Amino acid sequence: KFISNSLLRFPQAKNISASYGSAIHKALEIFLSDYNDKWTFMKSLLFESFEKTLKEEGFDKKTEADYLERGRVNLESLYTEISEQTYGELRMEEDFRTASWGTWLGDIQLTGKIDRIEKLPDDSLIITDYKTGRGFDAFDGRWAEHEKIKQWKYRLQICFYAVLFELSPRWRMFTNKKYELFFVEKNRDEERFHRV
């Protein structure tokens, strides 16, 4: 019988793209958590958090330098995009697995880690998942086959988040919820960030 290596936790080679995405996520978590506490945007914190997290991955110097430069260029644009907006109350990296209230479907515990939950003054929620890589504005399947599969997976993820929040004792009382993907790398052809 086949047992996946994810179940057995066999060691695997580090994936630089995944590590880069994790470093961007971590930087946004620290940066926006700090904003939520102090109501100021500390640009240096965004960059320093990204660089520290990526360097801890231990890639060779050339690979590390290439991705550090890619991150710095992107974070420069991302900082402008983020700091020109106002936000409600933010919760970063909300972990449904470790939450005291738990979310259950019968005997099955539903888990997930949400990148950002924003509660607006009118008690509506914006639930955001960050994505690196090529972005899009609609689930319209206009791309190549592998991109269509990615869009399908992302759409399924948003549907699961909706179930998670609707069943959650902590969050189901908020009746107005918006779910979005925020692609945190700027589309250089269009000079803009994509959300869907």
Per-residue confidence in pLDDT tens, the chain, 196 aa? 344 444 455 555 568 999 999 999 999 999 999 999 999 999 999 999 999 999 999 999 999 999 999 999 999 999 999 999 999 999 999 999 888 888 999 999 999 999 999 999 999 999 999 998 888 887 776 666 777 888 889 999 999 999 999 999 999 999 999 999 999 999 888 889 999 9
Residue 98 confidence (pLDDT) = 87
Q: How far is it, in rounded angstroms, from Cα 87 to Cα 35?
A: 9
Return the ∠ at Cα 5 (arms to 14 and 59), rounded to 5°. Answer: 5
